[in-house]
Amino acid sequence: MTTYVSYDEVEVGQSLPTRSFPLTRADLVRYAGASGDFNPIHWNARSATGAGLPDVIAHGMVTMAIAARVVTDWIGDPGAIVEYSVRFIRPVVVPDDGSGTAIEVEGVVAEKLDDGQVRLDLTARVAGEKILGMARATVRLS
């Protein structure tokens, strides 16, 4: 397992590099194809607004995956993730303007556990509004 950080050099309270990830309607179409989730609220504005949404929204799993990129970029090995969970608290609206939206993700080392494991707390926001709650990852470092 290759990691960018080791258990011994990590400290509680240490911040992971903050990242901004653009998300466009084209990304949603590609994700729909990869996941098989073709629910029209993720690509068709008429369907989304008809369902009471403000516009097309991102798939929950794509927002979860985007937030996990901060973790995988930091540790360098996606296989080092032992556990990962989030609570979806706000939909991510993706406008059809060519730019889409940006998901801002930051993380912090919340706890050093036994067996080389570290718990990370993540915060994901769009336009300053939190989109995920209780976003946590446990990773095993060497």
Candidates 49, 51, 43; CA nearest to 24 is 43
Task: Write out the DSSP string of 5-49.
Answer: S-GGG--TTPEEEEEEEEE-HHHHHHHHHHH----GGGT-HHHHH
Candidates 68, 53, 98, 97; CA nearest to 42 is 53
Residue 72 class from Cβ within 10 Å (0-12 exposed, 13-18 middle, 19+ buried)?
A: middle
Domain ranges in the chain are 7-23+61-140
Q: Rounded to two decimals, what is the model's pTM?
A: 0.93
Scan for tokens 């994901």, then name that residue.
Answer: 124
Predicted local confidence at residue 4, as pLDDT: 77
Predicted local confidence at residue 3, as pLDDT: 62
pLDDT tens digit sequence for 72-89: 999 999 999 999 999 999
Class of domain 7-23+61-140 as given by CATH: alpha beta
What parts of the chain have a pLDDT lower than 50? 1
